[in-house]
Each structure stands twice: as C-alpha cells, then as structure tokens.
Structure 1
Amino acid sequence: MTQTLTIARVGHQGDGIAETTEGPVFVPGALPGEVVEGAVHAGRMERFELIQPSADRRPIHSQTYAECGVAPMQHWADAPYLAWKRELVVATLAREGIETEVGATVAVPPASRRRLALHARRAEDGRIVLGFKARRSWRLVELTDCPVSDPRLTAALPALRDVAAPFLGHPKSAPTLHVTLTDTGLDVDVTGVEKKSGGLTGDVRALAIAAAARAGLARLSLDGEVLMMERQPRVAFGRASVPLPPGSFLQAAPSAEAEMVQRAVDAVKGAKTVADLFCGAGTFTFPLAEVASVMAADSSAASIAALKAGIGTAQGLKTIRAEARDLFRRPLSPFDLKGIEAIVIDPPRAGALEQTGQIARTKAGVVVGVSCNPATFARDARVLIDAGFRLEIVTPIDQFLWSTHVELVGIFRR
C-alpha cells in the first residue's frame, strides 16, 4: 500500500524516520522535513518518490557509493550532516547518564582516505571487478570513482585488477584487497583466498608477484605472509618513520589521525610519564614522546616490533618502552602503571572494559579515550566517572566521510 510520509529525523543508521500511528517507518536516503511517497513493508520504505525535497539535499558525489551504502549520507549538506553526527554522540552518552561538553564534529576533507578494502570478483564477461557490496545484498558494485579516497588509490584501480586476477582461480575464493597508501607506495594484503584445497600453487604465486611488480606495489602479502616486497612500506608517526607490518591497523585518514593525536598530546602536557595502551605501531606513541616518557603496550607483537624499529629513526624524543601484551586477557594493573601520570587508550570497537577498570584504580590524573565506537566508549567512560574522573569534553571525529560511523576523543581528569 502506497503511503505519503513526512520525515521527522535521521536515525543512527542513516535512515530517514517518519512517525506513523503504526510506529516508525524507516526510509533510507530521506532527509528531515522531506515528504516521500512509496510502498511500506515491515516498517520500511525502500523505494520512494520525493514529493517535497529538503533544502539541505545535495547532488550525490558518487553513484558507486549511492548503490553500495558505504557513504549513505553523501546527499546531505555539510552543516546538518556534521551536527547529526554530534547528536549521535550526545545521545549515546546520555544512555549511560553522561552529560558533558560535546564539541563540534571535526570534518575530514574529500580525497583524503588512505585505505580501501576492495572485494574482487570475475564478471560474466571475464573482466576482473573491484568494488564494494551493494546495500543489503551480496551483489558487487564496481568502484569506478571514489571521492573520499586519495586520488592515487583511484588511479591504481586498473593495476589492482591485474593484481587480483591470480587470486580468483579457485571457485571458493572471494579475495579482498586491503590497500594502504604508505609513504613508500601501495601496500596490499589479500584475504579471502581458499586455502583448504591446497592454497596457491607456486605458479599462481609467481603470477601474483609479477602482477605486483608491474603495478609498482611496495609490498604484496597474503593474510600477512609477504609474497613480494620491493620497498618497505613506511608511515610517519610524529618524528618517526615506522615500517608498517603486513595487514596492520592504520587510521584511515591522516587528517583525522592528526586531529586525534593533537588532542591527546595537548591533554597530557605537563605529565612526565604517559602510558599509551592499544598503541599499535605508534600512532600516538611518538607524538606523545615529544612531551613525556612513554610506556606503550599492544597485543600485536608485529606492531610492537615496528614501533621499536621506528624509535631509531627519530631524534629528540623522550624514553619509549614498548611491550607486547594482551590487554584484554592481561590488562595492566595499578602496580604495572605505578608512576604513570597520564594514560592514552585507543581500543578496538569492543572497547576495553577490563583495562578501564584497572585504570580507574591508578593515580593517573588524566585519561584520553580515543574510540571508534561511541557505545563502548560511553560504557567504559561510566567506569572512570564512577571512580572520580570528570569527562571534560568529547570531540566527534568524522573520519569516514558521509558514512554513519563516528569516532571521538574524550578527555578525563580527576
């Protein structure tokens, strides 16, 4: 049955929401104030005719992104879109009973993302297709334009299709190319290749290596196993040049990373000793070491080895101690953190409830929480607040442009 609805707001998944007597109706792609018409099934209007558009509606930047859902908010004007992301953070904190200053959302510019995860498939006509999965579907949408990514990634797509071809030989293989733009060139780690049937033959590996060489890749790896390395992929963290391990974590946009790092460094200034927990290869460690001695810890031994290798490339830093340690199973205790005056913690999406509980019992006066998941940040923040910390300010960071994802930095002080 066709209905005409007025959109009241945008939900946390990016869908427009209309309130009706039967309950809310979710309308993907609709904006607040718009009048839409279409068929409603199970509380959703998947396709609609736009009867009255919002003044905040903008032409889309990418048809690929319109189909795949990677950037579902690209049709919304900047100001209301960024304000909506701020409100997502405010509402998430409120669910934990947390009221604090929430700053304006920090935007990142288009054409700045340095990482892409590209699914590779062979089309019916034999072409190699790289792209993203369509919204609510297994269909692959070919990537032809990518306004959020560094142009050097988009320019490399033809060569990357050539690199993907050898990995598509087995019918059960569904390879994904994790492409990272580093200071020394493109680093590609391939996952999703069938291994139970014997994996890649020597001949296929040779084809992959030859394709990587033609593409000028810095490195090609398969699930972290290096197949070819022409140049060591390196990234700059503060004054250091760090050799990036295959398949390791890296913030998606350098500008977002810089915003988060600057807030962390500013917050801990005056402390003589800082702990950097879930430090990775040193994103925060090296800038922090410009103002204080740093104790760094992460579960990835490869990341810690890379961090240690980067120490020798930087001049004028204070002492850095780095340890490979599973902070979920063996969180650092108040005894381990004795003498630490400030703590920076940047856990994965699951948050770090156990480690946060240990931090709450330390004598650290400042804690900087960096998070890619406002829900787990709010849960963990509640622990610190109940232990006597005050959450001074939270700054949302729009690292993934036009997506529903929002990151943040929160500053706690006793």
Structure 2
Amino acid sequence: MKLTIERLGHLGDAIAQGENGPIFVAQMLPGEEVEGELVGSRLENARIVTPSPDRVRPPCAHARSCGGCMMQHAKDDFVAAWKMDVVRSALAGQGLEADLRPILTSPPQSRRRATIAGRRTKGGAMLGFHARGSDALVLVPQCQLLHPDLIAAFPALEALVMTGGSRKSELALTITRSLAGPDVSVTGGKPLDGQLRLELARVAEARGLSRLTWEHEVVALRAAPMQAMGRALVAPPPGAFLQATDQGQADLLRAVQEAVGDAKRITDLFAGSGTFALPLAERAEVHAVEGDAAMMAALDKGWRQAEGLKRVTTETRDLFRRPLEPDEFKNVQAVVIDPPRAGAEAQTKTLAAAKVPVIAAVSCNPVTFARDARILTAAGYRLDWVQPVDQFRWSSHVELAARFSL
C-alpha cells in the first residue's frame, strides 16, 4: 500500500489519510510518499519512496532500534517548528492566542536524569532502553541524549544489576547527575537482606555513587547528592522531580524571573525541592507549597544553609484535594505554579478568584496548560506571552513558561 504523509500527530507519529480514516506510520515526515503493509490503522514495515527535504541522517548510532528518541530523523528546525505548533494548537483549542516566543532547545548529550532498564544475563548484565513497542533491550553506549557523566556511570549500573538483579526480572535504574556524583535509585531488584545491603553499599563506594536507593530504601550515602538551585544547594529525596537538563531549568527559571519581575512576596505552588522558590528568594520572600513532605524538607534545609536569601516558608499540602483559597493569597504580589502533567484545574479556579496581580505558569503539558489558561483569561487575566522550552530533545514532549497579568 502506498500513501503520502500529511502531518504529524502530537505524539510524533506520521499520519496519512486512508479510505477508512487516518493511518499512522512511525518515523515518517509530512510530504513523504511511503509504502508498506496496512495492519489495522497502522502502516507496518514502511519504506520511503520519496523522502522529505526535512529528513536527515540520525546523529545517534542507536536511533533505528532504540525507543528513547522519536525525532532524530528530522532537522532540528523542523522539530522546533512542530513543537511550536503543538503549543499553538493547544491554545487555539481553548480559543486563546499569545505572543509565542521562539523555542529554547537543550543541546545533545545534556539529559542529567534518565531511567535505564537493566537485565542480568548468563554472561553479565545488559543496560539500555526498550525498542519501540517492544520489551527488547537496546544497548546505548553511544547515546546522544544522555549527559556523558551518565554514560560514564554505566559500569556502576552493570555492577548493581549483577549484584542485585535476577535473570527472571528487569530492573529500572533511575540515575541522576549530581554535584557529588551519580545518584541512583533502583526498583525491580532482589529483596533487601543484610548481605545484599552490604554488597550494594560496597558497589556504591567502589563506583563513586553519591547515593544508592534500593526499592525506596537508602542503602548507601557516600555524599549528599546536591543540586544547585540559585545560591542554594539542595539534596532532593530519592526519585524526586528534577528538571531534565541544566539548560532547561535555567531557561524556565529566566522566564519565571521575568514574569514575576520586582514582586516582593511570592507564592510558589507545586514547588518541588525549590527549583524556582530558592532562586526567587534572592530578591523576594517566598512561600513554597508542595504535597511531598520530603521535598519540602529538602527545600527548607537548602534555604537554611544558603547565604543571602530572603525568608522562605514551606507548607506541605495536597493542592489537588486542598488548593489554596483566595484569602490565602492576601498581599501576595506574584504566584508561580508548576503542576504535573494533569495540570491544576482546581487550584487555578481559586487562584483566578484571588486576583493576584501576576502569575508565572510553568507546564509540561500544553493541553492542560491551555485548559487552565482559559480559566484565568475568563476571570480577566491577560496571557502576555508563552515561552516554549524543549528539554526532551528528539521526543514529542514540550514544556513552557507563561506570564498572566491583570
């Protein structure tokens, strides 16, 4: 069957129009003529007949088999324009328009956090990402996505698989680059006992891991896995949220700082471990609110140990079940809100009623951002600008920061 690709879906699959509806084709680009075997609504074993001028040779040797990246076959400017369109379409779906700034994209080899799959084999250990739509494991020693420090830690991950893995199951090894060395959290391994704790601690010490967490229990802490957040140093709890790249974090922070301007009293909602709250405290008093008590404790400790910061208060609170009410924003001059992918519909409604002068919104989901943005604009807020940020290079994900004002 021969088809012509018309567009990309928001998840990156190419879409052609068939007799009975849309047909999805992996790793193709608009304008390309392709042929293959129709299986349901997908074209399998697709072959390019006429390539797009936007097609390039993937920079990574693992691109054809690895499922970690989706868009290495397209020019960077094409991917940037496509992600801008994803944001623009999400806004249009809610009847919104905004000054859409050029996207800021993190460079190759900059991901500071990733979850690697690991399996113990008869002859050793395998590490990598899954192939597309498969449980097959693809080795990625030349990965162009991960920071070189993460690649350099692969031998340590292999040692952990050999020590605590089973040939009957797969381990998930989340590795984060920290100022003190790799911070590793593992699930799917053997149950902890005294002997395994000792052996894992030996691996962590010998391989220079800053911290090793096994099935949510810290089994080794060689040095606190610090992350820089402005002037403060913070050791987030194991598995805590962290922006994917240093550059992405810096890009979002600059946008948030611009949005709040000279505000002297700021409330930071879904504050995490202090990504925005601590740098903002260099110029303003900040009240940070987050549902995870461990992240709040890490933020508070980082603030107390830093020098030159204004007052930061913390509050552990489930903002989905118990959002801050309008009277709790009294005398607040600006709000920062950075919810998970689901957005923050309930909190946005109370925030809209509070009439805080300025809102800096950060989102990893343009669709839920647009839904919540519509709540604010209906309450009289103006959407001043939107800054797209691409931390997840070669993927379908796109983040953004935005400013709302009355």
TM score, norm. by length of structure 2: 0.96
Q: Which residue of 1 aligns with 2:78?
A: 80
Q: Between Structure 1 and Structure 2, how many residues are aligned?
A: 406
Q: CA contact under 8 A between 1:16 and 1:29: conserved in structure 2?
A: yes
Identity among equivalent positions (%) equals 45
What's the counterpart of residue 128 of structure 1? 125
SS in 1 for 2:17: strand
Q: What residue is the counterpart of 1:190 in the other structure?
A: 186
Preserved contact between residue 245 and residue 303 of structure 1 (Cα < 8 Å): yes
- Superposed CA deviations along residues 286-337 of structure 1, whole A, max 9, x for unmatched, are 1111221111111111111111111133222221111111111211111222
Q: What does residue 39 of structure 2 align with? A: 41
Q: Deviations over 1:210-235 (max 9, x none)?
A: 11222110110123321001111101
In the TM superposition, residue 38 of structure 1 has moved relative to its aligned partner by 1.2
Code of the residue aligned with 1:140 in structure 2: it is L
Query: 1:192 Cα deviation (Å)?
Result: 2.6
Cα offset, 1:394, TM superposition:
1.3
Pairs within 5 Å for 1:10-21: 10-21=8-19
Following the alignment from structure 2 to structure 1, what is the Cα–Cα distance between the partners of residues 402 and 292?
24
What residue in structure 2 maps to residue 115 of structure 1? 113
Q: CA deviation at 1:153?
A: 0.7
Shift of 1:63: 3.9
Offset of residue 193 of structure 1: 3.4
Task: Identify which range, 4-13 or 257-266, moves more after superposition.
Answer: 4-13
1:365 maps to 2:357: yes
Q: Matches of 2:371 and 2:162 in 1, distance apart?
A: 44
Which residue in the other structure is 2:253 paired with?
261
Q: Structure 2 matches for 1:2-401, cutoff 5 A? A: 3-123=1-121, 125-169=122-166, 171=168, 173-193=169-189, 199-401=191-393
Secondary structure in structure 2 of the residue aligned to 1:182: coil
Q: TM-score, normalised by structure 1?
A: 0.95
Distance (whole Å) between structure 2 residues aligned to residue 65 and residue 335 of structure 1:
52
8 A contact 1:340–1:363 mirrored in 2: no
CA distance in 1, matches of 2:384, 2:68: 32
Name whichever of 178-187 and 218-227 sits farther off: 218-227
CA distance in 1, matches of 2:145, 2:66: 14
Cα distance in 2 for residues equivalent to 1:163 and 1:215? 10
Task: List per-residue Cα deviations over 1:80-101 (Å, max 9, x = no partner).
Answer: 1100000011111111222222
Deviations 1:252-299 (A, max 9, x none): 101000000011011111212110111111000111112211111111
Distance in 2 (alpha carbons) for counterparts of 1:46 and 1:369: 40
Q: Is 227-236 or 160-169 further displaced after alignment?
A: 160-169
Residue 360 of structure 1: SS of its match in structure 2? Answer: helix
In structure 2, what residue type is equivalent to 1:188? V
User: Within 1, Cα distance between the matches of 2:132 and 2:40?
Assistant: 18
1:179 alignment partner AA: I
Q: Given residue 348 of structure 1, which amino acid in structure 2 is its aligned partner?
A: P
Measured after TM superposition, the shift of residue 170 of structure 1 is 7.6
Root mean square deviation, CA, Å: 1.5
Answer yes or no: is the 8 Å Cα contact 2:99–2:385 preserved in 1.
yes
